[in-house]
Amino acid sequence: MRSFYSLLILAVICIKTVLLADVWSPPELLDTSAIQPAIAVDAQGNAVAVYVHSDGINTCVKAATLAVGQPWSTPLAISQPSPYWCRMPSVAIDSKGNAVAVWICNTPDNAMVVLAARKPAGSNSWTLAEPLADPAPFVCELKLTLDKQGNALAVWTTGQKETANLIASARLKSLESSWEQIKPLARNSSIACLDVAVDLKGNAWMIWNSDAIQIASLASHADQWSEPQKLSAASVLDVKICVDADGNALALWAENEAIKAYARPYGSSDWEETIFSKEALTGRYMQVAFDRTGTAYALYTSNDTANQNVLRFTTLPFKSRTWSTPINVIPTGDAMFWQIFSDIDTAGNAVVVLFTGGWGANGVIQATTKAANSPSWSSPTPFTMSAYISTIACKLSHQNGCTIIYSDGAPYVYTITGSELFQPNKQPVFLSNN
């Protein structure tokens, strides 16, 4: 349980247009014993946070909501407190404000089960947690997507004795319907990493690595995934996939110290390799997203010619097959990035929050932004925290505002709000209660 109290998790929600004030607020206490927070925001700017809460004996998943212009609601347990560990909570919101949360929980007989709960728009009440499948000896790599129509898709890997050789999934076609299990995909070897994306029509694409990079699709009306396509024989540690508003798809992974990026136009069954910058990679971080015009944005870590760790940014108009010349997100020479996460909204605005420097009290959390019409990133705005960081996560929305949620080593959960991050020539300022 000691490791529970040494984690710090950070999640960021940022918005796509001009914000209201160029400051980060002092931290606001949300919970005094929590880890693994996740956060989502709807089209109006209302937020939902979920996290694992522990009293030292039992754990449960709690949720809190933030209505625009209001304080956070009192966190509520959405799972029954249990001495058996809960982990990997995730939350998503549709365009109407309906929310879905999923997480993994251990059972008394040492099995694992994926659970889900729902929250109607405008309500702080959640449905009772329900299992999405029978318990299994091992469950991992839980992913959740929710499209604008309220169709949810949960995907996870499962198997025997910490060997995940099966991809399971379940779909929720509306908040009032029941979860439907999708026919599992069986693999011959363990699945090391997985990612999933969904288009505006509810069609899903999934990429994973099991001794080869493979991709499958799930049509909105289908009850099973397509036959997987093999894109590479490489074995990698991370894979990413995204889909734009027109149904075009893009897949990324790091292979032999280079990023591979493949594009699939809507309606085609062929994946075409794009031309990505050739440079040595650390392989520790990649993220890719589309804006509303069909331009793709990618962030990744790399080593420069002096073997220093750098965070790079590049773009790709989908009709092109050549990525732009990469630019640095933060100046070179910073210490190792311990944790990174970012998000890019449909307007093309981007935010990165990262933990650099030493570990523990010597580390620094930094935030930097890039407006869609700006050629460069803002100067990093740091604030130092005497705590550990385990995870950083970001989420963007369609309204003005930016919220950070994090858990320090106590472990307390706090939130911070920021604004005017995408104004030209604006640099954010951090305030502190200390």
What digits encode the pLDDT tens for the residues 362-374?
A: 667 777 888 888 8
210 vs 133: CA distance, rounded Å:
22
Q: Are 413 and 403 in contact (CB under 8 A)?
A: no
106 vs 94: CA distance, rounded Å:
28
Q: How far is CA 400 from CA 167, 345, 349, 373, in A?
A: 37, 12, 12, 17
378 vs 234: CA distance, rounded Å:
36
Return phi, psi of residue 83, to 5°. -70, -5
277 vs 322: CA distance, rounded Å:
9
Which pTM does this prediction carry?
0.85
DSSP letter, residue 109:
T
pLDDT band at 111 (very low <50, low <70, confident <90, very high): very high
DSSP letter, residue 236:
-
29 vs 416: CA distance, rounded Å:
9
Count helices and strands (H / E) in the chain: 0, 35
H helices present in 356-409, as ranges: none
Asked whether residue 246 carries a pLDDT value surpassing 80, the answer given is yes
Which residues lie below 8 Å from residue 295, measured CB to CB, with a gap of 6+?
315, 316, 317, 318, 348
Give bridge partners of residue 53 from the DSSP assignment.
34, 60
Asked whether residue 14 carries a pLDDT value surpassing 50, the answer given is no
What digits encode the pLDDT tens for the residues 272-303?
A: 999 888 776 765 678 898 888 889 999 888 87
Residue 274 is predicted with a pLDDT of: 92
The parent domain of residue 222 ranges over 2-430
DSSP letter, residue 135:
-
- Please state the rounded mean pLDDT for residues 15-36: 61
CATH number at residue 181: 2.130.10.10
Number of structural domains found in the chain: 1
3-state secondary structure of 368: strand
Residue 397 is predicted with a pLDDT of: 54
Asked whether residue 67 carries a pLDDT value surpassing 60, the answer given is yes
- Please state the rounded mean pLDDT for residues 130-159: 90
Looking at the chain, the whole-number percentage of residues with pLDDT higher than 70 is 76
353 vs 27: CA distance, rounded Å:
16
Asked whether residue 38 carries a pLDDT value surpassing 50, the answer given is yes
Q: Are 185 and 177 in contact (CB under 8 A)?
A: no
